[in-house]
Structure 1
Amino acid sequence: MEDYRRIADTVAADIAAGRLRPGDRLAPQRAFARVHRIADSTAARVYRELARRGLTVGEVGRGTYVRAAQHAPGPALAEPADPARRTRVNLELNYPEVPGQAALLARSLEPLLRPDVLSAALAVAPATGSAPARDAFAALLARGDFRPDPAGLLFAGNGRQAIAGALAALVPPGGRLGVEALTYPLVKSVAARLGSTLVPLAGDAYGLHPDAVREAHRSAPLHAVYLQPTLHNPLGVTMAAGRRAELAGTLRALDLWAVEDAVWSFLLDDGRQAGLPPLAALAPERTLLVDSLSKRLAPGLTTGLVLAPPAYADRVAAALRSGGWTAGGFALNATVRWLLDGVVTTVVEAKRRDAAARQALLREHLDGFRVRADPASYFAWWELPEGWRAETFLAAAVRHGIAVTPAAAFAVGAEGAHGAAPAPNAVRVALAAPATDDLAYALGTLAAIARGAPEDSVPD
């Protein structure tokens, strides 16, 4: 194993054992290099590796900090400050579940578990799935006047794999991928594995700005742009119809591809969706649309999909196969049943109501703060009050048994890239995971922390 990875393993072990806790600041890279008797360049690789593993976050000019964990078994949280409340509250994870969901899914699966049916369902599924799967998912994606061609649908194991396959098909190693300056963190790790260079693109209150795409492309040609036009994670912005049309025109003028991530768009009701055509409808020959059922249903048994122009589908299918990212046969058959039985529609409607109720809790407890959120979404972007730094706030929240995600996790170039702007002093608050009473407790506690001074949060 390379030296830098061995050293990164040592730091990771310290984090896992609690010797380094969420919010702790690591030594500056040069000091770290001297302590470990390694070159500065090796220290930089250690810090990049820790960030890649999701163990640390960094802000230009401010340092590198241990972050709260995002995945099971959960963040290394302190016991809640309230002795009557023993529940730790994770506002990083964002997989919604509504009452009765599991029973609905189970009933729909019963016919699939008959031995003769199950035998066929356990067969290997090709990237193209099956005709029933393509028809069912094409109907799922349809909105307004948009009717996708089932011939262009391809299937992955989940949404992350769909994104990886789409990017692998479009961006060669060393190629430039334009992304919103605050973007889905997984895209950063996928780009690193594919050897792509991320180019941050500016946006405004209406979403990604076409001028930013044109300027970046003039500087050095982009191979593709990844974006989330609907319920952008983490900002909650939904791009207006006029901006979508302008962006579609920019893609055509520059002969540029877009990867359109629509994973959260299901939360918008049918009326809002009908007036917001996807880029795949406005520039179908320049767009790969990716989506999945992980948020609609559950992350453990899901299907991702890529909608490609039919003439380009073979190239995307090859990328999915070479990466080992195609859908499992059982998962694909299960999701088709859930679609055809109306289970997905029922669960989606329940999640829309649930998200609206959780947003109401957010507005109640964070009233008066600078919070940006769509009333239909399961997350919010919180610009912290003056005096607070994101990592200091993260550490204070962790001491109360609450995990949130700092802005640096979403920022492109915030790990020390030349010319990169510092990550904003903001956090994303994910609303989906906890029970509503735990969510109310957590939001109230975070509001109390934010109203105080940072020095008040430091333990004696």
Structure 2
Amino acid sequence: MAGTDDYLRVADAVAADIAAGRLRPGDRLATQRAFARTHGIANSTAHRVYRELARRGLTVGEVGRGTFVRAAQHAPGPALAEPAAPDAGTRVNLELNYPVVPEQAALLAEGMAPLLRPDALDAALRPLGPAGHPAARAAAAALLTRTGFTPDPDRILFAGNGRHAVAGAVAALVPPGGRLGVEAHTYPLVKSIAARIGVTLVPLAMDAHGLRPEAVRAAHRSAPLHAVYLQPTLHNPLGVTMPAPRRVELSDTLRELDLWAVEDAIWSFLDEDPVPAAPGSSAAGPVPPQAGPAAPPPLAALAPERTVLVDSLSKRLAPGLTVGLVLPPAARRDAVASALRSGGWTATGFALEAATRWLADGTVDRIVRAKRRDAAERQALVRRHLDGFAVSADPRSYFAWWELPEGWRAESFLAAAARRGIAVTPGTAFAVAPEGTQGTAPAPHAVRLALAGAPPDLLPYALTTLAAVARGTPEDAFPE
């Protein structure tokens, strides 16, 4: 009989079966007791095997339902690829969210051509600090400028990507062991960042207008917060955009409590063009909670001395060559720069030089306009194919939040979708555990649909398939 230390070997064997296709997405694994008997191992070892498979992201499980193989996670393919037939071998990824439009590669190639001259390439390959160079700071400041907000180029710093920008800002504002307030549903990688640098996350209540300032005050009274991280524009995953009065109230709260804010604006590039206002949200259909005019000025305009603004080019351009942007208050610029350097989170010279050229020659603007059109078209498909379900989504965004029908739990729906070759993200990925609960977060019966990764010819198929699953029951989805 195998010893308890052999659980990794057994987990590797199951992982190999999944990779080879002998176990397919949506297949239900045996119960842990039956698995232990089949493999000649102890029940405790089988438990460790199943826990290891879940840790690797290969399986999902739900008490009373079973353990299921997840859909494979593939990077989104190019939008110009040949349409794939929705057969048993097709995988539709609604987890990853990297927008790609047909004209993107050609525009990027055109802007990069001058960079390939030996003299330009030699300069681009030299090391750079987090401050980059004057031309890059000027281009970034122009990118971040909007009505009522003109950032100072000399305050701008550069990170390797958006995640690095967030990590550098949090590390500079919150000491190890400190408390960072976050929206009750937040960007999942913030949880990883906080765990890595030893920061405690404190979930803060939200409503239809976003983060509630009174929730910030209550948490700070309970035990002092050091900072707050939030997404006030096109919140991922809820799609909420905070209106101007709420932003003013929150800015006043930051000053009152002497708190810092990390404002994540990574998806805000999609909100620039006003769209017609839509009626209020209801369970009768997927109506956006915040449609209407473009978002108000950022918090960084209302409370510049308390706010670190972070942004990125990966969604605007492409994930393979990106730059993160950080705009800290003057008083915290050196601390953020130091955090970026010590964390190894600074931008590379080549990426920064390419981005500067794309910003200066209009490439970024042209690609952004195309992605705004693309996002609107994909949201129209959501409204059409998920009509009648409780879906919240801003018509300008690349994601939708789906509160599942009664009887469905997120994990069982995830497994049912995986069985049909469709990957979605459970709401638990965005939920933050309350303090003192040993990492147990609320379990919202919801999933997020990332709309950018699926080829446009397969998105209607995926949405139609998910709608059919949701109209049934878990028992219908997993017949014996």
Task: Tell me the TM-score range normalised by the shorter chain.
Answer: 0.7 to 0.9
State the Cα RMSD in Å: 3.3
Does residue 1:284 correspond to 2:293, yes or no?
no
CA-CA distance at 1:25 after TM superposition: 8.2
- Aligned match of 2:43: 35
Q: Does 1:100 align with 2:120?
A: no
Distance 1:332 1:5 in 2: 47
In structure 1, the partner of 2:277 is: none
Q: SS of the residue aligned with 2:350? A: helix
Q: 2:175 is matched with which residue: 172, 194, 199?
A: 172
**SS of residue paired to 2:201:** strand
1:173 corresponds to which letter in structure 2?
P
Q: Measure the CA separation in 1 of the matches of 2:11 and 2:339.
A: 35
Change in 2 beyond 3 A, CA 1:290/1:70: farther
Asked whether 1:125 is paired with 2:133, we answer no
| Per-residue deviation, residues 17-70 of structure 1 (Å, max 9, x unmatched) | 428876668989xxx9983479x9xx7xx96x8777655678899999765455
Q: Which one of the candidate residues 158, 174, 183 is aligned to 2:186?
A: 183
Instruction: Please give the per-residue CA displacement for 1:314-368, whole angstroms capped at 9, x wherever unaligned.
Output: 1101000001110000000000000000000000001000100000000000000
Report the number of matched residues. 444
Moved more, 394-403 or 267-276: 267-276
One-letter amino acid of the structure 2 residue matched with residue 429 of structure 1? L
Q: TM-score, normalised by structure 1?
A: 0.87
The 3-state SS of whatever aligns with 1:306 is strand
Aligned pairs for 1:300-449 within 5 A:
300-413=320-433, 417=437, 422-449=442-469
Deviation, 1:224, is 1.0
Between the aligned partners of 2:201 and 2:30, the Cα distance in structure 1 is 25
Residues 433, 440 of structure 2: 8 Å contact kept: yes
Residue 267 (structure 2) pairs with residue 264 (structure 1): yes
Cα pair distance change 1:50/1:233, threshold 3 Å:
farther
**Pair 1:267–1:9, CA change in 2 (3 A):** farther
* Partner in structure 2 of residue 451 of structure 1: 471
Query: Contact 1:163 / 1:290 at 8 angstroms: preserved in 2?
Result: yes
Contact 1:166–1:288 at 8 Å: present in 2 too? Answer: yes
* 1:12 CA drift (Å): 6.6
| Contact 2:68–2:415 under 8 Å retained in 1 | no
Determine the C-alpha separation between the residues in 1 that align with 2:53 and 2:249.
39
Contact kept in structure 2, 1:397 and 1:404, CA below 8 Å: yes
| Residue 220 (structure 2) aligns with | 217
Q: 1:444 to 1:280 in 2, by over 3 A?
A: same
Provide the rounded CA distance (Å) in 2 between the counterparts of 1:330 and 1:107.
16
Residue-by-residue CA offset, 1:69-119 (whole Å, 9 max, x unaligned): 556599xxxxxxx87574311111110011111000001111110001110
Measured at CA, do residues 274 and 382 of structure 1 come closer, stay the same or move farther in structure 2, by a change above 3 Å?
Answer: closer
Q: Which amino acid aligns with 1:140?
A: L
For residues 361 and 270 of structure 1, what CA distance do their matches in structure 2 show? 20
Residue 248 of structure 1 corresponds to: 251
How many Å separate the matches in 1 of 2:434 and 2:53? 14
- Pick which of 84-93 and 334-343 moved more: 84-93
Separation in 1 of the partners of 2:406 and 2:414?
15
Q: Bigger shift: 408-417 or 313-322?
A: 408-417
In the alignment, is the contact (CA less than 8 A) between 2:202 and 2:434 conserved in 1? no
Percent identical: 70
Q: SS at the partner of 1:395?
A: helix
Write the letter of the residue equivalent to 1:226: Y
Letter of the 1:397 partner, please give it: A
- Alpha-carbon distance in structure 2 between the residues aligned to 1:412 and 1:12: 30
| Matching residue's letter, 1:381 | W
Query: In the aligned structure 1, how far is the partner of 2:5 from the partner of 2:322?
Result: 32
1:79 aligned residue? none
- Is contact 1:60-1:416 (8 Å) kept? no
Q: CA–CA distance in 1 between the matches of 2:458 and 2:297?
A: 37
Would the aligned equivalents of 2:86 and 2:461 in 1 still touch at CA under 8 Å?
no
The answer to whether the 8 Å contact 1:59/1:416 transfers is: no
Alpha carbons 1:144, 1:274 under 8 Å: kept: no
For 1:351, the aligned partner's letter is: K
* 1:431 CA drift (Å): 0.7
Contact 2:271 2:295 in 1 (8 A): no
- Larger mean Cα displacement after TM superposition, 406-415 or 444-453: 406-415
For 1:343-398, what per-residue CA distance to the aligned partner results, in whole angstroms no more than 9, with x for missing partners? 00000001000100000000000000000000000010000111111111111111
State the partner residue of 2:14: 14
How many Å separate the matches in 2 of 1:367 and 1:65? 28
Query: Aligned-pair distance for 1:452?
Result: 1.2
Rounded to whole Å, the distance in 1 between the matches of 2:42 and 2:236 is 39
Instruction: Give structure 1 stretches of 5+ with no counterpart.
Output: 75-81
* In 2: Cα distance, 1:165 partner to 1:25 partner: 41
Return the offset for 1:162.
0.7
The 8 Å contact of residues 58 and 415 in structure 1, kept in 2 or not, is answered as no
Report the secondary structure of 2:150's partner residue: coil
Shift >3 Å, 4+ stretches = 4-17, 19-28, 32-38, 49-74, 82-86, 270-275, 418-421
